[in-house]
Structure 1
Amino acid sequence: MKKVNGHQIIQLFEEFSPKGLAVEGDPVGLQIGRLNQTVQRVLIALDVVEEVVDEAIDKGVKLIIAHHPIIYRPLKTIQTDQPAGRVIAKLIQHDIAVYTAHTNLDVTEGGVNDLLARQLELTDTKVLSQTAEDRFKKLVVFTPKSHENELRDAMAEAGAGYIGAYSHCTFTSAGTGRFKPTIEADPYIGEANQLEEVEEVRIETIIYDSIEKRVIRAMEKAHPYEEVAYDLYEEARPGKQLGLGRVGYLQKPMKLREFIEYVKMKFDVPALRYVGNPDAEVKKVAVLGGTGNRYMNAARFSGADVYITGDVEYHTAHDAKMMGLNIIDPGHNIEKVMKAGTAEEMKVRCLESNFDVEFIPSSINTDPFSFD
């Protein structure tokens, strides 16, 4: 396995959680430090507080990937004798970079909201509020007939060719490729300054915009030619919906009072707030990590029996009660599911890329609230 720097790790991370998925104005990306250094250990954290920074120092971490921005609003001063300034100074002194993935990690497939839905074991999940679309593209590549199977397999393994419940979807047509290598070329087939004709195939497949770089990288690696001839076409048909929150179904209905205990157990919280009738039946569930007040109507119109989100405001709770929507507020900190989930996602991706990197979920509980 090969040693890598922070840039290579973040490039791989952004294939999983592109910055472009973040809502407008959300501070995402590198916030402190540098990426041009070798990184062997990455800490995955919900919040970057001083205890988390100390944990990173103890474990020899050079990069923290956090969900909540350490710098949310522009700073006018950094006073190192104050708590916030002290944390920033400690990070700089120990050359630890902080990269933030906030609403983009909420939106992306396999991100915070999918992890919350999986924790609740919801089935048939859909996006609660669409904010983006993962568009279809058609990828066309030309290759010698001798390499068509190898190329098709490489692209499919990278995620190309998924249409609904079908994978490895491609179309192949035969033809003749013509080219003349220049004197500077190092051709796989042919001689310099001689026009060459090769029996080639045209392979067509479908990819999502989000995996374009990964598929092209796999295609180029498997292709025998020095210069690969390929085309990308935008598809007119709708792509995959992406957005905030998820809506899905419980494996079996239960009363709200039972479901409350289920939520406490699944999210490992000692207490929570709720609005609604304890005897109401719960089958369809909407869940949105973080503060979800503005998506109350989306939860209602989705037909959910209950809406789980954090930091519900007093007046929003009144509105929900009047509209007959049950609410459960287990706190903002349930987003801690992103620590283990993101670490596992990146571990798999780095193994596929032969990167020698360890991803460590932070063990620090950063919930500022206590219950008595």
Structure 2
Amino acid sequence: MFARGETIVQLMERLAPKHYAVPDDKIGLQVGTVAKEVKRVLVTLDITPEVVREAAELGAELIIAHHAVIYRPLAHLRTDTPAGALAASLLRSDIAVYISHTNLDTTEGGINDWMAEALELNGRDVLEEVHTDQLYKLVVFVPETHHEQVRNAIFAAGGGWIGNYSHCSFNIEGTGTFLAREGTDPFVGKHGQLTEAKEIRLETIVPMSVRKKVVASMLKAHPYEEVAYDLYSSDLKGRSFGLGRVGKLSEAEPLDQFAERVKRALDVPFVRVVGDGAKPIRKVAVLGGSGARYIRHAIFAGADALVTGDIDFHSAQDALAAGIAIVDPGHHAEKIMKPNVAAWLSERLKEAGYTTEVFASQVDTEPFRLK
């Protein structure tokens, strides 16, 4: 059984929720339709004519990319322009394009975490907060016989977390009353009679990111036809999600040695380095893509070095004067997303019983060459 495109999008938005993206980012479905069965998916960093040809030869009906195929507004769709020709080739081949950009950068287990893991950074934290998961207080009244069943369903769906503490709840015994009217099917009691039932008032915390999932799981596990529950916004701060990561190497190493580590870990042919090659590097900030404007964030975080792409001349001078090292592996280092997204999505599809295949693009979309 092949997954429909809508299902694949839902899975991608589980990995990288759309509300994690920075404002005005160009994400989501950009070309074609996902209202169809998808036998094969191609995951790529960029969409170029070569990638479209690869997808067509593969028989892929959907491309998942990190960088938008439509980034700047199009005044027209002329096939004698590069952008128009690219869109036309996608439409001719009936290949849809879905973009997961800064939401994939921001999410836990996304690009910045993959880069930090590749560099073997420990004790990671967010470099710049983009989104904080709002917390809600969930209150539900459950018959004593099903209290544990409902509570476990809430926990399994992601409820009950406060900081690094899981399975957090408060439970009070009490008596619930109701009168079953005509057309109802009460779990306990009889029609037309006031019923008193021993119930538990179950309270717990639910993050916004899993609110719908938790409520759905709670309702499924609850035996009542009509479930009495409330959701209240809370002043408690949930988990923070953001761009970049900051962590530490197990041991300090000279900048030049660390630069070699970056080359190997991110599989790039060269890096540009700012700073004294003998400078000891222990605390490292990493940010996929263009990170020149995050130099001050890395300095504030106490990083010895920032690993990021697209560093310009004046930003390099500013970093050198400020005493923070820079290792620039280029924007294309984000290609680390291809095998990781493909593996994650393939596993989720298999778990759901789908036979849709997911492939990581083999096309090198790095536009620069060394001479």
Q: CA deviation at 1:75?
A: 0.6
The one-letter code sitting in structure 1 at the alignment partner of 2:150 is L
3-state secondary structure, aligned to 2:72: coil
C-alpha distance in 1 between matches for 2:15 and 2:224: 29
Q: CA deviation at 1:187?
A: 4.3
8 Å CA contact retained: 1:286, 1:299 = yes
8 Å CA contact retained: 1:172, 1:204 = yes
The one-letter code sitting in structure 2 at the alignment partner of 1:297 is R
Q: CA deviation at 1:192?
A: 5.0
Count, aligned residues: 371
Specify whether residues 344 and 135 from structure 1 end up closer, same or farther in structure 2 by C-alpha distance, changes over 3 A only: farther
Cα deviation per residue 1:101-149 (whole Å; 9 max; x = unaligned)?
1112111111111111111111111111112211222222222222222
C-alpha distance in 1 between matches for 2:314 and 2:21: 27
Instruction: State the match for 1:9 in structure 2.
Output: 8
Instruction: State the match for 1:83 in structure 2.
Output: 82
Instruction: Give % identity.
Output: 48
For the aligned residue pairs, the C-alpha RMSD in angstroms reads 2.2
Specify whether residues 126 and 177 from structure 1 end up closer, same or farther in structure 2 by C-alpha distance, changes over 3 A only: same
Instruction: State the match for 1:155 in structure 2.
Output: 154
Instruction: State the match for 2:258 in structure 1.
Output: 259
Specify whether residues 98 and 225 from structure 1 end up closer, same or farther in structure 2 by C-alpha distance, changes over 3 A only: farther
C-alpha distance in 2 between matches for 1:315 and 1:142: 61
Instruction: State the match for 1:319 in structure 2.
Output: 318
8 Å CA contact retained: 2:31, 2:91 = yes
Map 1:1-372 to 2 at 5 A.
Answer: 3-191=2-190, 194-350=193-349, 353=352, 357-372=356-371
The one-letter code sitting in structure 2 at the alignment partner of 1:72 is Y
8 Å CA contact retained: 2:338, 2:360 = yes
C-alpha distance in 1 between matches for 2:10 and 2:182: 35
8 Å CA contact retained: 1:270, 1:371 = no
Larger deviation: 300-309 or 58-67?
Answer: 58-67
The one-letter code sitting in structure 2 at the alignment partner of 1:280 is K
Q: CA deviation at 1:15?
A: 3.1
TM-score (norm 1): 0.92
Larger deviation: 240-249 or 155-164?
Answer: 155-164
C-alpha distance in 1 between matches for 2:112 and 2:84: 31
8 Å CA contact retained: 2:135, 2:205 = yes
Q: CA deviation at 1:29?
A: 1.3
Q: CA deviation at 1:273?
A: 0.6
3-state secondary structure, aligned to 2:129: strand
C-alpha distance in 1 between matches for 2:2 and 2:219: 22
Specify whether residues 268 and 236 from structure 1 end up closer, same or farther in structure 2 by C-alpha distance, changes over 3 A only: same
C-alpha distance in 2 between matches for 1:193 and 1:337: 64
C-alpha distance in 2 between matches for 1:100 and 1:187: 47
C-alpha distance in 1 between matches for 2:307 and 2:39: 37
Larger deviation: 223-232 or 280-289?
Answer: 223-232
Cα deviation per residue 1:175-208 (whole Å; 9 max; x = unaligned)?
2333344544444445555544333222222222
3-state secondary structure, aligned to 1:237: strand
Q: CA deviation at 1:232?
A: 1.5
Cα deviation per residue 1:67-96 (whole Å; 9 max; x = unaligned)?
111000111122224332222112212222
Q: CA deviation at 1:3?
A: 4.9
8 Å CA contact retained: 2:30, 2:98 = yes
Extract unaligned runs of 5+ from structure 1. none
The one-letter code sitting in structure 1 at the alignment partner of 2:274 is V
Cα deviation per residue 1:253-307 (whole Å; 9 max; x = unaligned)?
1111111111100000111111100000000000111101111111111111111
C-alpha distance in 1 between matches for 2:304 and 2:317: 17
Q: CA deviation at 1:24?
A: 1.8
Extract unaligned runs of 5+ from structure 2. none
C-alpha distance in 2 between matches for 1:95 and 1:223: 44
8 Å CA contact retained: 1:41, 1:60 = yes
3-state secondary structure, aligned to 1:131: strand
Specify whether residues 43 and 201 from structure 1 end up closer, same or farther in structure 2 by C-alpha distance, changes over 3 A only: farther
Specify whether residues 193 and 251 from structure 1 end up closer, same or farther in structure 2 by C-alpha distance, changes over 3 A only: same
8 Å CA contact retained: 2:63, 2:96 = yes
3-state secondary structure, aligned to 2:75: coil
The one-letter code sitting in structure 2 at the alignment partner of 1:268 is D
C-alpha distance in 1 between matches for 2:254 and 2:99: 38
Larger deviation: 130-139 or 291-300?
Answer: 130-139
C-alpha distance in 1 between matches for 2:85 and 2:4: 26
8 Å CA contact retained: 1:15, 1:211 = no
The one-letter code sitting in structure 2 at the alignment partner of 1:295 is Y
Q: CA deviation at 1:222?
A: 2.4
Larger deviation: 70-79 or 188-197?
Answer: 188-197
Specify whether residues 218 and 58 from structure 1 end up closer, same or farther in structure 2 by C-alpha distance, changes over 3 A only: farther
8 Å CA contact retained: 2:162, 2:238 = no
8 Å CA contact retained: 1:128, 1:243 = yes
